[in-house]
Amino acid sequence: LSIAYNSNDEAFISHIEDIIPKGIIFYGPPGTGKTLFAKGIAEAINATVYIISGPELKSKWVGEGEANIRRLFARARATAPSVIVFDEFDSVAPARTSGAHDGAMESSHSMVNQLLTEMDGFRKEELVFVIGTTNFPQALDPALLRPGRFEYQIEIPFPEWEDRKAILNLYNLKHRTELSKENIETLTSWTERLFENSSRYTGDHLDALIRSLKRYLINKKLVKLDDEEFNTWLKLQTKTHTLTNDEEKVIAIHEAGHTMMYRKYNRLDEVKKVTIESGITDVLGMVEINIKENHNFYTENDLRSNIAIALGGYVAEKIIFTQVSTGSYNDLSSATKIAEDMVVFYGMGNLNVPRNYGDQEGKVNPFFNNLISPQIDAILLEIKEEVINYLNENKSLLQLFADLLIQKRTLNPDEIKEILGKQV
C-alpha cells in the first residue's frame, strides 16, 4: 500500500525517515559554494553545524585521529539535530590501498575505518547529518560512497549566465556599489571569459570583482559609476595586448575562417560571439560557442565537421596571406586528436578491419603507429581540401566578415547571422 502524503501522519514520517540518506557529498571546482550549501542545509533545518577542515582531525600521535572523529560524532549526537560538514573531505577519507605500509598511510586508513564505523552506527532517531565537500570526488574511498553512507553525490559546478547574474546582484547590494541593471548585464557577459589561471568565474571571483569595484569607488570618492567611468574601471580589469594592424588582420581572418565553417555545417546557432579583443587570458581572439551538453555519441559526420571548424582558421590564413601564424597551434592539436581517435578507437579510418588500435590504458598502441598514422593524415588532408574549396568559393564573404570584425572588435549572434546571410 502506498503511503498518502500527510506531514502529520506518523506512518508517513517514519517512511520518509527510512529513505533519508545519512550523508551527501558536494563536489566541484574550488570557490563554487560547496561549503555555503552545506551551511544553508544546517540553517534550513535549524541544526547545530560543525564545520571541520580535514587536516584539523589528523594528528602525529597514533590513534589520535580516530579519537578526534569519535569525539566529533559524540558531540554532534549530544547537540542534535546537527550537521557535520567535512571540508576537504578527500584529506580525511582518501581511497585506501592494499600496498601501503608507511605510518601516515596506515593512520589515514584507520581514520577512514573509524568514519565508516560511525556512519554505520547511525540510527534514524539520531538526528545527525554528514556532508563532505571535495574538489576531487575520485580520490574518496569507494566504501564511503556505497548506499547507506554517502549515497548522494551532488555536483556544484561553475555558475552559468543566470547564476552569475544573480550572484552579481547579491554582491552589488551587499557592497553597495549601485550598479545599474545594464552594468550587471555587461558584467555577466564579461565574466563568461576565463579567469587568470584558465578557470571559469566562480562566486568567489565575482565577490572579488565587486569588492575591487568598491575600492575603486572609494579611491575616486564616488558613490556610483556612470557608463564612461564604468567602462574605464572594466578596462583596468582586463589584460590587453597591443596589436599591430597586420596582427589584427591575421587574427580577424583566422576567427572569420572558424566562423565560416560553422556556417558551412549549419551550426551558426552554436556561436555566441566572435571577437578579436583579448580577454583576461592570453587568448588574442576567439569564437565563443554554446557547448552542447548530454551528447550520448557523435557520428562520423559530427567529428569531421569539428575537424573542419578547427582547421578553418589555419586554412583562411593560408588563403589570404599565403602563410600561417603560430596562432593555429591549439586548432591543429584539436584536429589531430579528433582524427586520431576516429582511426584508433572508432573504426572511422579507411582500413577495412573493424577493430580498436588502443592499448589497455586507452592510448595508441605504438605497435600500430606505422599503420594508423597514414590513416590520420588521410582524414586531415581530405577535410583540409573541403575547407580550402569552401573558403575559396566564399573568399569575398570571408574578407567582408574579417573587415567588419576589425571595425567592431566583437560581433554578437545577430550581427554574425546578418552578415553571413542564409546558411548553405
User: What residues are annotated to the active site?
Assistant: 255
Predicted local confidence at residue 327, as pLDDT? 86
CB 162 within 8 A of CB 55: no
Pairing between strand 410-411 and 152-155?
Answer: unpaired
In this model, does residue 101 exceed pLDDT 60?
A: no
Is the four-CA dihedral 41, 44, 50, 53 of positive or negative sign? positive
Predicted local confidence at residue 241, as pLDDT? 60
**Measuring CA to CA, which residue among 229, 201, 196, 189 is closest to residue 213?**
229
Rounded distance between C-alpha atoms, residue 292 and residue 201, angstroms: 20
When pLDDT is averaged across residues 192-200 and rounded to a whole number, the result is 65
pTM given for the model: 0.56
List pLDDT tens digits, range 351-369.
777 888 887 666 777 788 8
- Grid coordinates representing 184 are 550587471
Predicted local confidence at residue 280, as pLDDT? 43
- The more confident residue out of 216 and 96 is 216
Predicted local confidence at residue 7, as pLDDT? 57
Rounded distance between C-alpha atoms, residue 275 and residue 71, angstroms: 57
Predicted local confidence at residue 58, as pLDDT? 64
Angle, in degrees to the nearest 10, between helices 395-408 and 413-420: 150
When pLDDT is averaged across residues 59-81 and rounded to a whole number, the result is 77
- The more confident residue out of 99 and 143 is 143
Rounded distance between C-alpha atoms, residue 47 and residue 150, angstroms: 19
Predicted local confidence at residue 19, as pLDDT? 67
Q: Among all chains, which residue has been given the C-alpha cell 581514520? A: 111
In this model, does residue 415 exceed pLDDT 50?
A: yes
Q: Which residues contact 103 (CB under 8 A, 6 or more apart)?
A: 62
Model confidence at 424, pLDDT cuts 50, 70, 90, reads very low
Pairing between strand 271-275 and 410-411?
Answer: antiparallel
In this model, does residue 170 exceed pLDDT 70?
A: yes
Rounded distance between C-alpha atoms, residue 409 and residue 334, angstroms: 26
- The more confident residue out of 95 and 355 is 355
Predicted local confidence at residue 408, as pLDDT? 86
Q: Among all chains, which residue has been given the C-alpha cell 564604468? A: 230
Predicted local confidence at residue 281, as pLDDT? 46
Percent of the chain at pLDDT > 90 equals 29
Q: What is the rounded average pLDDT for all residues in the chain?
A: 82
Q: Between vectors from CA 106 to CA 105 and to CA 108, what angle results, nearest 5°? A: 65
* Burial label, 264 (beta-carbon count in 10 A; 0-12, 13-18, 19+): buried
Rounded distance between C-alpha atoms, residue 146 and residue 77, angstroms: 23
Rounded distance between C-alpha atoms, residue 125 and residue 81, angstroms: 10
- The more confident residue out of 95 and 23 is 23
Predicted local confidence at residue 81, as pLDDT? 83
- Report in angstroms the alpha-carbon separations of 42 from 39, 77, 83, 416: 5, 15, 6, 48
Model confidence at 176, pLDDT cuts 50, 70, 90, reads very high
* Burial label, 254 (beta-carbon count in 10 A; 0-12, 13-18, 19+): buried
Q: How far apart are the first and last CA of the chain?
A: 59
> DSSP string of 79-121?
T-SEEEEEETGGGTSBPP-TT--SHHHHHHHHHHHHHHHHHHT
List pLDDT tens digits, range 255-302.
999 999 999 999 998 898 888 876 544 567 788 787 655 566 889 999
Is the four-CA dihedral 156, 157, 159, 160 of positive or negative sign? negative
Model confidence at 342, pLDDT cuts 50, 70, 90, reads very high
Where do the DSSP E strands lie in 330-406?
A: none
- Report in angstroms the alpha-carbon separations of 242 from 129, 245, 248, 250: 55, 10, 10, 14
In this model, does residue 253 exceed pLDDT 90?
A: yes
Alpha-helical regions (H) of 176-322: 181-190, 203-220, 227-236, 245-264, 300-321
Strand order in the sheet with 128-134: 48-53, 82-87, 128-134, 23-27, 152-155
In this model, does residue 70 exceed pLDDT 90?
A: no
Pairing between strand 271-275 and 286-289?
Answer: antiparallel
- Report in angstroms the alpha-carbon separations of 287 from 82, 151, 249, 259, 411: 49, 40, 16, 7, 10
